Amino acid sequence: MLRERALKSVMVVAGLLCLAGIYPLAASLWYWHGTDDIVPMFLSLYVTLGVFLLVAARNPSQHRSLILFAAWSSFAHTAVMLVQAYDGVADRPLLFGMSAILVLIGVPLLALAPAAILIGSGRPQTDRWP
């Protein structure tokens, strides 16, 4: 019970942090001059992920694959940002801080993710298809 409540809290906080990107996304698209294509693309993905995390927070056990995707994609994005930050430390100091935020989101999501559902054969089944 405590674990599920902690997971719900982490999902809501992560979802709201991702959803907070809607203002910079709208501003970057409104004033876009074709100079930076990457930021609006990443913001659109994170805003969408935020919406789905907020919806999934109601019943996390039914959305295990989304939780794992959010965690592992945070780690993958962090790895790329750290390589970019290391390559040009003076040019991109904010990447280190942003990487830390993504790790602080990914670790609790991965640690608190619901266990896979076991079916009769002992195989884990994460999604139920009709």
Model pLDDT, residue 123: 60
Q: Per-domain residue ranges for the chain?
A: 2-114
- For residue 79, the cross-strand partners are none
Model pLDDT, residue 120: 60
- For residue 124, the cross-strand partners are 118
Q: What's the rounded Cα separation, in Å, for the pair 97 and 76?
A: 15
Q: What's the rounded Cα separation, in Å, for the pair 5 and 7?
A: 5
Question: What does the pLDDT average to over 51-61?
Answer: 95
Report the Cα 35 to chain-centroid distance in Å. 26
For the segment 13-53, what is each residue's pLDDT rounded down to a tens digit? 999 998 988 887 888 777 767 666 777 888 888 899 999 99
Q: What's the rounded Cα separation, in Å, for the pair 59 and 11?
A: 11
The model's confidence at residue 11, banded by pLDDT at 50, 70 and 90, is very high
Q: What's the rounded Cα separation, in Å, for the pair 58 and 10?
A: 12
For the segment 69-128, what is each residue's pLDDT rounded down to a tens digit? 999 999 998 898 888 777 766 566 777 778 888 899 999 999 999 888 766 655 665 555
Q: What's the rounded Cα separation, in Å, for the pair 113 and 66?
A: 10
Q: What's the rounded Cα separation, in Å, for the pair 97 and 79?
A: 13
Closest listed residue to residue 25, CA positions, set 14, 15, 36: 36
Q: Identify the weakest region by mean pLDDT among 5-9, 33-37, 56-60.
A: 33-37
Higher per-residue pLDDT: 96 or 8: 8
pLDDT above 50 (res 130)? no
